Structure formats: C-alpha cells, structure tokens
Structure 1
Amino acid sequence: MTDTILDVRNLHVQFQTDERLIKAVDGISFEVKRGQTLGIVGESGSGKSVTSLAVMGLVPSPGRVAGGELWFQAAESDTGAIDLVKVPPSHRRTYRGNQISMIFQEPMSSLNPVYTCGFQLTEAIRLHQNISEAEARRQAIALLQEVKLLPSDEELKQRYLEELPQSELAHPSSEAELNRHINQQKQSILDRYPHELSGGQIQRVMIAMAISCNPSLLIADEPTTALDVTVQATILDLLRELRDRRNMSIMFITHDLGVIADIADTVAVMYQGRIVEYGSVWQIFSSPQHPYTKSLLTCRPRPDRRLQLLPTVSDFMEVVTTPSGETVIQEKPTDMFQAVRNAAEMSDFDLDHRLTELQQQSPLLSVRDLQVAFPVRGVWGETKRYVMAVNGVSFDVYPGETLGLVGESGCGKTTLARTLLRLIEPTQGQILFEGRPAHSLEGQALRQLRQEMQIIFQNPFGSLDPRMTVGAAVIEPLKIHRRGNQRQNRERAAYLLERVGLDPQLMHRYPHEFSGGQRQRIAIARALALNPKFIICDESVSALDVSVQAQVLNLLKELQGEFGLTYIFISHDLSVVKFMSDRIMVMNRGKIEEIGPAEAIYREPKQPYTRQLIAAIPVGSLERIRERQVERGIAVG
C-alpha cells in the first residue's frame, strides 16, 4: 500500500458565468501522505475551499471539474487507487463521508437548528452503517467522549462521587444510582440543540460527525477561524491527537500561516487558483521563496515585535498584465523586513513617552463601577435570577489613545461596548464622556453625544443594508443628523471612501458587490461620516484574511493620526490587540483581570488567565515547528 492517500494531478475547476469563464483552480498538483497533515494556505478567492469541494465531489453549479485527476487510496482497499473525477455521482457516497469527511468553516451554520445534536450525529452514523438507533447513540456518545465534549465514564463517576455526601457512599443503591446518573449525563448532551452549545462545542460535534465512519482523509476547511484563540488551540490539539491515534490524514485549509505552523507537516501556498509554493512546513517557514509567501508570513501581527505599521502583500509583490493578457507576479526589489513604510520598531523610550503624554490629559471617557445584568426568566416569565455580564468595571480612556479590550467569547466585551454607547442600558455605575454623564443623558443631549461616539461591528455585511448603495450608507448618518445639503454630503462620502482606499466612482454599487475587506472599509467610512472623537472597533478584523487584516489595521492607525481618533479596540486575539493598543484591558467573566501598558501585559502578565491567552497565540516560530516535527520523527533542516 502506498504512503500517498491523495494524489492531485493538474486539477482545473472552472465557473462559467454570463460574463466570463472563471478559473477558480488552475492546474494544481499536490499529495497528502498517510497519517500526515497537508496545510493549504491563501487568502479568500485563492481557490482553497474550491479545491476541497472538488475532492469531495461537491463543486456547486455552475462550477465543474474541467480537467485533472484525483487519485485516492482508501485505507483498507486492496484494489489500488481510484480517480475520484471518474467516479459516477451515484457512487460518490461510498467515499464521501465514509472514507473522506469534511469539517466546514462556520460551525454555527453547519448544524440544523431544529434538530438535536444527537439526532444529527446518529443520522450521520446510520447513513453509512446498518445499525440500530440504540447502537448509533452508543457510538455517538463514544465519539463525543473522544473529541472531549463529554467526559469519560471514569471522570463522570469521579465527579458524582465528589458531590455525594459521605453517608450515602455505602448505600446499597449507590451503584445503581451511579450508573443511572452517568447514563443521564451522557444522554443529556445528545438531547441539546445547537443553540445551547458554544462555538467550540459545536465544532467538536462537527469533528465527531466527521470521524464517525473512521475516514482515511479528513478535510478541515477553516475550522478555527471564528473561534477564540484559546478554543482554537484546544481544537488544534484535538485534531493532532485524533490524527495520530487513528493514523488519519488531514487536509487543513486556512488563511493563517500561524495556525499552519501548529498543525501541518507539508504546506501548499495558493494564490489566484495556483500553488505558488509547496514544501515541508520547515522549508516554508525557514526559507520562503515566493513573495506572496513572504508577505503572508510577515503581515500577521507578532506580539514579540513592535511595528508601527504592518507589511502588506503590495509591499512584496505586484501583479502585472503582459501585452498578451497573461498576469505575472513580480517581486519588488526590497528586503521583506524593510517593506513597510515607516515601520521601524518602537523603542521602550518611545512607548513610555507616548503613554506619558496621553495620560497627562484629562480622560475622554471615564467608567466607574459599571454593571450590566440580564434577567433569567422562569417558565411563567418571572425573573428567577440575574446574570452579571459586566460586573463592577472601572477604567479611563485618554484622547488619542487606543485601549485594547481582550478576552474570550462571553467575557462581556461586546456588552460593555454597547453599554458605553447606550445601546444597552447599564444596571448601575457611571459613564462620563468629556465629563458629561452619558449613562443618564436623554433626548437631544443623547442624540448629540452619539454623533461623537461610533462603532465598527465585526461583520460588515451584516451592518450594511443590502438594499442601500454604499454611497447612501455613508451619507445616511449625515442625513439623520441634518449635516449639510445633498451636494455637500455626496462630496463628504466621496472623500471618505477615497480616504479608506476605495474608488468614489463605486458609490452607486451595493454591499454584495464588494469583498469582505472592502465592506469593512465602507463600514469605517460610515463611522467617520460625522467626524466622531471616539470609535469602538468590535472584532472589526476577526473575519478577515491576514493579508486584508493588515491593510485594515494600518488604515485604522493612519486614520487615528489624521482625525485625532480615540479607540477601544476589541478582539479575542491578543497579537492583534497588542499591535493596535497603547494599553490593554483583559476581561474575564464580566470583570477586569488586569489593565496596563500593552508591552508590559505581554512581557509580564500578572494573571494566569492572561498567560493562558498569550500561550494560545499561534506565533509560527521555527522553534515550535522544530519541536513538533521532531516529536513526529520528521527530520528538519
């Protein structure tokens, strides 16, 4: 049996639209070795996901596999490799979900919300096995224990005994009661609906579903993009453990080379439908050859560096069109670490001097003992108790400062942000903006305050009206607050769109006609329309590719200097927060764990929770890559 489980040769995938033929995948070739992980990395539109869909036989219409071969060697097959391209659609299910499984990108939309997790997991099991419902549920429980969503029987037993009073331990019915309790605990997780689980828990359900038929090849398409860094780290650990225990191969797709460094053995870098660099993870990180790979490696913020601006793809290469119409990538003649404009690292003196100057001013925003409580209703609608989403938070933000707010999902970051803007009413405490009591303002005074405080949301597509042109979206705040006439407002919108790097001639287009990074630029232009003093960036780059993320982060810094803006920058990614921030505030369970200068928080975190966040950052260091490869018995340079 060959060591290669998947051999892709000269694969072409095309989409025929009314206007033109799109070559989504343009003649790529690679191999996936048995028991190893191939990482496929690239920005949105590079062809990563289309490649995985071609392997699964799920390329959506009007797309089609226009050429190439997909040779797959099943784990227990003696008949040799088969070309999946030639397998009739009626026989694809023999391989899809059985020998080849897939974890899709967005866990919250991967499960049907009207069915329990147990029903959907047992359905996947019974689809490929002729077994009873009871046996399928038993297998489902075992899978959930394997992916560590459900504790093992021994752990459940130990927890039960710890909670049981000493006087009852020797009771004759204790053993029967113990077994009944353990079974109840195991069955309860199957009876939950997707909305009752967190993103990380749902992703574990999806992994359990994907490995339910013991596949030889697992395709993971951006499985950690929407997750906190701590949850992301646990999912990566889980995938590595499952791969090694089951001798399973993984095709791991992402836009983040830091994540690739933590899990991959071999790496394929894709750009515009082609593989521009291919080699071992050590080769790619220690000696990148292609300018696009170099840019991806450096455009992600690294917490151990203090750049004023991040490198972007355009600093390393440019795409030119030849007279014959062919596109060619040309590397710019510059060292990769000198590619950033004015990006010298800031010294300790520069950082201290800036912080001192900022804090010599009166605070722009002061928060004192802020509390936000949400009622938990009973069966009849009565309030049974309150959940403290924000619990006694106090801090100051100074004019021109960026205060980073970091923490896991559910820690209270977004609730705090919306409360500062009075989109959620505080339960207790004070919010002072330039000395004005923002927590108690009403009517015209509150309306005036909101002109000076804006927010950029995480999902730009969700925050822009799909029925409104982008020009109208930027002009809308000016109309609401009766600023200027129609001509002045159009000129203001055109100026702002141009300032965020978009052509004002595109004002008549709609949000769906722009990429994710462009939509976020439109959302930034809209937030700037009223010339505010204070902007909250709520996970505003979390959903973007690292290359686009670098452009948006640079833009936010440039705009801060130009317009004198003050930011609260919210993210679960400490490396991004550290790049943007003067000071960092760490939140956990509604409270502030610690607050201090960004460099001090990273270098000398005082709280275990902060140290946990820092340890979970996928930095992609050569030392860590060497350690992981040596552990797996793979030689490195």
Structure 2
Amino acid sequence: MPESPLFYGYSELVCSAMSSPLLRVEALTVDFPQANQTLRAVDGISFYLERGQTLGLVGESGSGKSVTCLALLQLLLPPAQISHGQAWFQPEPEGTAIDLLRCPPRQMQQIRGRQIGMVFQEPMSSLNPVYSIGFQLAEAIDPQQRLSQGQCQQRAIALLEQVHLLKPEDPLEEKKRFLGRYPHQLSGGQIQRLMIAMAMAASPALLIADEPTTALDVTVQAAILRLLRELQQQYHLSLIFVTHDLNLIAELADQVVVMYQGQIVESGTVQQVFRHPQHPYTKGLLACRPRLDQRLAILPTVADFLGDTPPRLEVISPGQQQERLGHLASQPPLVRVEHLWVKYPIAGGQRSVTALRDISFTIRTGETLGLVGESGCGKTTLARTLLRLLEPTQGQIFFGDRDISHLSPRQLRPLRQRMQLIFQDPYSSLNPRMTIGELVAEPLRIHRPQQSQREHRERVAYLLERVGIDPQAQNRYPHEFSGGQRQRICIARALALNPEFVVCDESVSALDVSVQAQVLNLLKELQREFQLTYLFISHDLSVVKFMSDRLMVMYNGEIVEMGEAEAVYQQPQHEYTRTLIAAIPRGLSLEAA
C-alpha cells in the first residue's frame, strides 16, 4: 500500500508481524453504490491480529469501524459490497488459513459463533423480546455438542457464572429463575454481560466487541472491561475492541488502529499511539475528552487539530473559578427543592418503591449544577419531577419564588416556557414525520400563536444557525442527520421559547467524543449568551466536572455528596463518589499530543 500523509505506522506494523497471525486483513475495500455515485466506506485497509492479543479499532461514527467488522463476518446488507481485499483467518497455528471474505455461506455459518463471536453495539436489538434469556443462550451453545436439555441448562448457568451474572453459591432454583427472565427485565450492564456470554458460548478463538460499553455507567463500563480481560486470560482469547474512546483502549488493548473516513491513519502499540501520536486526527481524539487534571474554558475538537494551526487551550485558573463561584453565590435561587420524596406504587398499589428520598438542594440563577450517579439511582426521576412531568409524593419544589409542587396543568402551562428538557436520545424525542423546521417551530405555535408564521420561520432559522445547523435544511427530516446534529436540533427546540432553566438529561452520553466536545462547548456558549441555568445530568463524572460549577452525587435515590465540582473530585467524602472517580478511564499520560 502506498505511503501517504494520512497513514502512519502501517509499514512498521506489517513488518513486525509473525508468520501466522490469527487474522490478517489485506487491502479491505467496502463500497456502498448509490444512484449517482459510490460511497467508499472502507478504503483499502490492512491490519493483523496475533493470538491472545487485543486490537483496538478506534474512530468516530462513519469512520468504517463497524463496517469492517461486519464485512469480516459477511454480515453486510445490500447495497454494501466488498470490492477488494482478503481477510485470512487461521484458527489453528498449523492449520489452513481461510479467506473470510470469500467463504461459501455454509462454511461461514460454521465460523460465525463457533470460531468468531461478536458482541453487537445495540444489545437490546440483538435479543428477541418474546423469548427468555435461557432459551436464547441455549440457541448460542454449539449444536454439534448434542447436549441434552439438562446439560444445556448446566452449560448456560456456567456461562452466566463466568460473566458474573450468577454466583456459584446461588441456589439452583434461583439460577433457573434467572434463566426464565426476559431481556426487558435486565439492566443495560446485565444485557451486555448476557451478550458476551452468548458470544463465548462456543468458545471462539476471536471475539469482536463493537462499542460494548457505549452509554453504560462508568462503574458498569469498568466491570465489562475487567470481564473481557478475565475471559481473554482464561481462554487465550483474541479480541477486536471497537470504540470511539481512546481512553478505553488504553485500559484493554495491546495494538491500536485509528480509522478516519474509511482509512487507517495511524497504528501501533498502545504506548506508541498514546505517548507519541503522529496524526492530527489521533491527537484530536486524545484531546477532546474532558481532562481531569485541569479545567478548560472550551474543549478542543478534532476539527481544531485537522487545521493548519494546533489549537491553544485556555485553562481556567483556580482564582478565575473562585471568582465565578463567588458571583453565583450572590445570585438568587432559581430552583429550590425541599424534602422531596417520590414513590412508585407496585403490586396493584399495595406496596410502593421509593425512587427519591428526602432530596433538598438549590440551583442559583446562571449556575450549572451537575448531577452524577449510576443508572437507576433516580437522576431522571428527579429531573422529570422538577419539571412536574412526574408528581412528587411529598415535599416542595420552588421555581423562583413560586411553589409549583401542586399547580394544576393549566397553571403550569405558562411556566413551561421558562423550563425545558433536553432528552438523552435525540432520535426518539424527534417526531420522524415532521421536518426539523416544524419540530423547532412547534413550541412557538403552541405558546405563541399570536406571532405570525414569518416570525416563527425567522426564529427557527436563527436558532438552527446558532446551534450550527444550516437553516436551509429546515425541510429535511430527523433521519437525514447524524446523532450529533440531531442533538443540536433538540437544543434549538429547547431554546425556542427563551427558557431560563434547562435540564440536560444524559444529553451527550451516546455521542462520539469529538461530537460530544462540540455539544458541550455549544451548551456553555449558549449559557453565556442566554443567561441559562442548567441541571446537567450524566453518569460520566469527567463530563460533569467540565460543565458544572457545583456537583451533586446521587446513590439509591439519595444525595450522598454535594459541593464545588473541583472539591468533590479532589477530595471526595463519600465512598460511592470515590468508586465513581476510580472507575473513570484515564488512558496514558501524553507526551506529544
């Protein structure tokens, strides 16, 4: 392959290859033919994977990572086609190498699952909701073993024990009951462990994990990484780990391949790529995650590094931060919560589950209060209760000087203009049958019907331009935009009525790190321009620390710690906060980024 300024480290990687790696990919090219042109998703990439090693495949959405993995297993759907290349797979060191790209369908069925397992990015969409997890796990166990029903159940239980979904000391009846559960009865982390168990059912030589920790809590993410390391050591497993987060790769991988626009732009060992990144794109990926050792005014983005001049990072000094905190302390509270309880009735109303327990706090005008905690701790329940989308069981919620705890829907309607919510999933919160212009204008039509359509169109155009979306795209639909663009559209819609208070509920958790940096910078910029007050919710403490003035840690429906963001991070008082901080992937120290 010819050398180019976009291709660092390839020659060194190939020259160091052993005689018989487990997988050797040569000049893989995947095209998507369209009406007027052909989109090249993967452009002649080459890499190899040794036995027992982990290869990290890194890049943003659209870089070709998932397409590469699907091509190896012949799982690409039309119109995608493999135009060129080979993928030599040699499961036995002395055996015959197989070109995965040209295997007959019958042979490929024998390879999938048995010799190459895959953990897909969306675990819930990979499971059938009408079948129990025990039934689906049994399907994944190699049928050539011809196990009886009892033996198959024993094997399923053993697999779940290996991925720590069951404990060996648990009673057998309890284990059988767990096998009878359905996918919707498991948490996100449990579903991901189940997918790993299914992928390991036939003891494959190679496991491909495509974004297996996206949108998971940092503690669950750390547990999944530990599990993969354990399985790799136990079975001498080779692993391809696909992610957009280089810090995760540092926790797990031996070799790293960085992809950008379908090409490999850099590759090498973890130490080489992290300590001496050569390509601007790699430097951008490393830099755009919020840093824990210093507070930046704005986050650098990948686009900054791809320009002619590297970005200059503006660091907020402790004195500047204390000055801002002192100013905020003099501002009146915009939101005040006193002894808030929320309980959900269960078992026909005979019993209840406590979601929020005696919550009290204030958010001052112009402040960003960060709320961090794992899934299920009550973060979203708190956010929706503050906005009166859920009813409080007990306690008071003040917005300004007004108690809104018991206002009727009609009384609340004027207040809806002053408080808005940005949801976690931008796609499901946008009506797919409405154009983005109609979606952003909808709050204006409801709350400001006295304004003309021209005024609405001008306001929509201004908001879209303000969040970085071309106003000429007003007639396009949500599916025609990327995830980061859809989130920007949601932000524009939330700002349509000039709110004072905005709740950001996990609004960047599923975005690529570079897109995440752009959205976080945008939220900070809009806060300065519109004098917004934020409740910023996330399970990612590094993101919350970048955004927040003060930090609130939630555990099991209670506030366990609260204080200035820097102080909570530097000197955590509660054991749970220390656990969250310890679980943050930190990567390696950078010398040349």
TM-score normalised over the length of structure 2: 0.95
Aligned to 1:428: 394
Aligned pair partner of 2:537 in 552, 566, 570: 570
Aligned to 2:236: 247
The answer to whether the Cα contact below 8 Å between 1:26 and 1:273 also exists between their aligned partners in 2 is: yes
Tell me how far 1:17 sits from its aligned partner.
1.9
Measured in 1, the distance between the counterparts of 2:99 and 2:41 equals: 21
Aligned to 2:189: 200
Query: Which is further off, 614-623 or 480-489?
Result: 614-623
What secondary structure does 1:364 align onto? strand
Q: Does 1:604 align with 2:567?
A: no
Tell me how far 1:19 sits from its aligned partner.
3.2
Superposed counterparts of 1:541-580, under 5 Å? 541-580=508-547
Q: Which runs of 5+ in 1 are unaligned?
A: 157-181, 319-331, 626-637
- 2:272 is aligned with what amino acid? Q
Q: Does 1:347 align with 2:317?
A: yes
Aligned to 2:9: none
After superposition, the C-alpha distances for 1:397-450 in whole angstroms (9 at most, x for unaligned) are 001100000000000000000001110011111110111111122244311111
Measured in 2, the distance between the counterparts of 1:416 and 1:128 equals: 51
Aligned-pair identity in percent equals 61
Measured in 2, the distance between the counterparts of 1:78 and 1:89 equals: 24
Aligned to 2:587: 620
Measured in 1, the distance between the counterparts of 2:105 and 2:410 equals: 64
Tell me how far 1:130 sits from its aligned partner.
2.2
Tell me how far 1:48 sits from its aligned partner.
0.2
Measured in 1, the distance between the counterparts of 2:385 and 2:505 equals: 13
- 1:290 is aligned with what amino acid? H
After superposition, the C-alpha distances for 1:137-171 in whole angstroms (9 at most, x for unaligned) are 1111111111111101xx33xxxxxxxxxxxxxxx
What secondary structure does 2:417 align onto? helix
Aligned to 1:64: 81
Superposed counterparts of 1:315-334, under 5 Å? 315-318=304-307, 332-334=308-310
- 2:75 is aligned with what amino acid? L
Q: Does 1:148 align with 2:164?
A: yes
Measured in 1, the distance between the counterparts of 2:442 and 2:309 equals: 44
Q: Which runs of 5+ in 2 are unaligned?
A: 1-17
Superposed counterparts of 1:354-393, under 5 Å? 354-377=324-347, 382-393=348-359
Superposed counterparts of 1:19-418, under 5 Å? 19-75=36-92, 78-152=94-168, 155-156=169-170, 182-318=171-307, 332-334=308-310, 339-340=311-312, 343-377=313-347, 382-418=348-384
Measured in 1, the distance between the counterparts of 2:143 and 2:531 equals: 60
After superposition, the C-alpha distances for 1:108-142 in whole angstroms (9 at most, x for unaligned) are 22211111100000111143532222211111111
The answer to whether the Cα contact below 8 Å between 2:45 and 2:264 also exists between their aligned partners in 1 is: yes
After superposition, the C-alpha distances for 1:522-552 in whole angstroms (9 at most, x for unaligned) are 0000000000000000000011000100000
What secondary structure does 1:383 align onto? coil
The answer to whether the Cα contact below 8 Å between 1:3 and 1:34 also exists between their aligned partners in 2 is: no
- 1:276 is aligned with what amino acid? V
Measured in 2, the distance between the counterparts of 1:361 and 1:78 equals: 73
After superposition, the C-alpha distances for 1:11-65 in whole angstroms (9 at most, x for unaligned) are 0011112232111110000011110100000000000000000111111111111
What secondary structure does 1:395 align onto? strand
Q: Does 1:521 align with 2:497?
A: no
The answer to whether the Cα contact below 8 Å between 2:142 and 2:202 also exists between their aligned partners in 1 is: no
Query: Which is further off, 350-359 or 550-559?
Result: 350-359
- 1:121 is aligned with what amino acid? L
Tell me how far 1:79 sits from its aligned partner.
3.0
Tell me how far 1:2 sits from its aligned partner.
5.0
Aligned to 1:174: none
The answer to whether the Cα contact below 8 Å between 2:166 and 2:175 also exists between their aligned partners in 1 is: yes
Tell me how far 1:364 sits from its aligned partner.
0.5
The answer to whether the Cα contact below 8 Å between 2:275 and 2:588 also exists between their aligned partners in 1 is: no
- 1:199 is aligned with what amino acid? G
After superposition, the C-alpha distances for 1:466-511 in whole angstroms (9 at most, x for unaligned) are 0110011011000100252100010000000000011100001110
What secondary structure does 1:389 align onto? strand
Tell me how far 1:274 sits from its aligned partner.
0.4
Query: Which is further off, 281-290 or 182-191?
Result: 182-191
Q: How many residues align?
A: 573
After superposition, the C-alpha distances for 1:175-210 in whole angstroms (9 at most, x for unaligned) are xxxxxxx22122122111111111111111111110
The answer to whether the Cα contact below 8 Å between 2:55 and 2:255 also exists between their aligned partners in 1 is: yes
Aligned to 1:536: 503
TM-score normalised over the length of structure 1: 0.88
Aligned pair partner of 1:507 in 445, 464, 474: 474
Superposed CA RMSD? 1.4
Aligned pair partner of 1:446 in 412, 415, 427: 412
- 1:450 is aligned with what amino acid? R
Tell me how far 1:302 sits from its aligned partner.
1.6
- 1:246 is aligned with what amino acid? Y
Tell me how far 1:622 sits from its aligned partner.
3.6
- 1:12 is aligned with what amino acid? T
What secondary structure does 2:545 align onto? helix
Tell me how far 1:348 sits from its aligned partner.
1.4
Measured in 2, the distance between the counterparts of 1:358 and 1:151 equals: 49
What secondary structure does 2:392 align onto? coil
- 1:52 is aligned with what amino acid? C
The answer to whether the Cα contact below 8 Å between 1:532 and 1:565 also exists between their aligned partners in 2 is: yes
Aligned to 2:8: none
- 2:585 is aligned with what amino acid? P
Measured in 1, the distance between the counterparts of 2:504 and 2:138 equals: 41
- 1:469 is aligned with what amino acid? T
Measured in 2, the distance between the counterparts of 1:144 and 1:254 equals: 25
What secondary structure does 1:460 align onto? coil
What secondary structure does 2:140 align onto? helix
The answer to whether the Cα contact below 8 Å between 1:282 and 1:622 also exists between their aligned partners in 2 is: no
Q: Does 1:462 align with 2:428?
A: yes
Measured in 2, the distance between the counterparts of 1:79 and 1:363 equals: 71
Measured in 1, the distance between the counterparts of 2:20 and 2:189 equals: 33
- 1:23 is aligned with what amino acid? R
The answer to whether the Cα contact below 8 Å between 2:142 and 2:201 also exists between their aligned partners in 1 is: no
